[in-house]
Structure 1
């Protein structure tokens, strides 16, 4: 097999997610009312793309956060609540002068790191199952968010918000640029580091990784900590988009579930050891585009949750199918 075939096989899930997103987005553009009314012009495409990008970026950050934990063979059911908590916190702190705003951003990101680190400590030191631990911590994070914002309110530095949710050079969505920077600064160094490779090894087979003498605990702790950081970046952007903070339980739960769907659509195995945050990002973009298509085709709102639930079920089933296929092949040699 040639080298390029190995590369394609290794990144098959990511490439499939890119293909699904490209197809869905093209259908979305061709049928969007703004495009049909103004023609397929650069300005119309740019306006539609910016709106779609700003909504999809929120899920992309949460999906990246979920990916870091999933590759260790865990799952984080608190990412949506970290997302909500940091949104509420940002609506209090990311205001005022540039210096005060910068301080607020640092505090919000620091809180995200602390939340992720707490999840990691409970899972690693407390030896609890990730799903149980993160359900508990997620409830705590939502409780804190509710204390900060019992009612929707607050504000944000509008100059910073407009800069990060607008367009660069008149046509490139700034939010996508920030997403790309986060991938380069957070995901790429992690995936290529010793601890990143250890996280993958732990997800593939923790007993084998342990016997190899690699630092499993440190790798998992870093994965959970960075997961909290990425979820907090999503919370910041939610504040930039809405100019307010809201402790919305339904929103937190929805982002948690949708992040799992995006992860699987992006080719990340729920059983650990396989996948990429880049694939999860395109899975998030594809999932959001599917939701936008329901609006474009005037799908009955009463049926939209059912349709999205079916997509979520199919996405998770696809991840499980790969494992069943491997198990069946192994049974041939027994």
Structure 2
């Protein structure tokens, strides 16, 4: 009886996330039912490859939103790190590893600068990141005036296919007979990359004092400050981690496409989609509620909708209209709270 009450209470607290998860499951199931090739490894690999970048950008947007702000530079940081990675992911394995780490460090550093300006410059996050996003795009254009770059072919193939392909590329498969490989051979590597980031970066951070402070700042910044919590450090940490996640998106995009591209339109589209994904995943735009895993699910919902365009042969001229309606509906969900509030002062808590 007590367990049932706990489960019921947990379901009520996470009803937005559970709703998003159910919506994704339904959308993805119907998609596979309509797809000419149905459930297949090739379709799953294609889907995961197309989803990784938006998933990471949505996770990046989650951290500033949890503090009660918005980061309009996540798409630009992704674009900047994509261009940086396109210059560095070549050479020996050690050189490529160094290039990948440097790319991630650049993204984290850019996010840290955002946080420092917000905290010590006392400028609203939406204004700060609008400006720094333009700076990021300018740097990306300096690095990569036109699309191109050199990314190691083996790395690109291994990181965008199955575990078997990864092991075979680097001589770990033993002719496909390696016992350790059999249970995991068909799993897409991009899926494992996302899981690794969630398990080793997001969850540990969420359970630290700094992570809990991020939630406290979003819920009631004044109360968090009066309680002695490190409010300023939490904001800087949130924006730094946002930059790191955006860099993960840019790094993977370089590996996937084997190139870099300072595409302003793409940066803006990813930023807007990240906000919609955050809201769809159950994170409140008022801050303090939600998490990166929910945003991950929200991003997958948006990506599955785009998958339908291919199999239903929807007119390309109508696709922006449909995406716009979906995005508008998703962002509007964040305003539903105002309809349930009787005392307007509660909106500022």
- Give the structure-2-normalised TM-score: 0.90
- Determine whether 1:114 maps to 2:109: yes
The CA distance in 1 between the partners of 2:22 and 2:151, in whole Å, is 36
- 1:50 Cα deviation after fit: 1.0
Map 1:150-165 onto structure 2 (within 5 A).
150-165=145-160
Which residue does the alignment assign to 1:246? Answer: 261
The CA distance in 2 between the partners of 1:17 and 1:217, in whole Å, is 32
Which residue does the alignment assign to 1:27? Answer: 30
* TM-superposition CA deviations, 1:217-250 (whole Å, max 9, x none): 1111111001100100110110111000010001
- 1:10 Cα deviation after fit: 1.9
Contact 1:14 1:276 in 2 (8 A): no
2:7 aligned to which of 4, 7, 16: 4
1:134 aligned to which of 129, 133, 138: 129
* TM-superposition CA deviations, 1:118-172 (whole Å, max 9, x none): 0000000101000000000000000000001111010212222222211123421
The CA distance in 1 between the partners of 2:28 and 2:344, in whole Å, is 36
- 1:329 Cα deviation after fit: 9.5
Map 1:28-177 onto structure 2 (within 5 A).
28-35=31-38, 45-168=40-163, 169-177=184-192
Map 1:274-293 onto structure 2 (within 5 A).
274-293=289-308
Which residue does the alignment assign to 2:322? Answer: 307
Moved more, 206-215 or 64-73: 206-215
- 1:207 Cα deviation after fit: 1.1
RMSD: 1.4
- 1:330 Cα deviation after fit: 8.4
Q: Runs of 5+ in structure 1 lacking a partner?
A: 36-43
- Determine whether 1:320 maps to 2:315: no
Map 1:201-280 onto structure 2 (within 5 A).
201-280=216-295
Contact 1:57 1:175 in 2 (8 A): yes
The CA distance in 2 between the partners of 1:82 and 1:111, in whole Å, is 9
- 1:328 Cα deviation after fit: 6.1
Contact 1:204 1:274 in 2 (8 A): yes
- Determine whether 1:15 maps to 2:10: no
The CA distance in 2 between the partners of 1:68 and 1:162, in whole Å, is 31
Contact 1:165 1:173 in 2 (8 A): yes
Contact 1:57 1:285 in 2 (8 A): no
**What SS class does the counterpart of residue 172 from structure 1 fall into?**
coil
The CA distance in 2 between the partners of 1:284 and 1:265, in whole Å, is 8
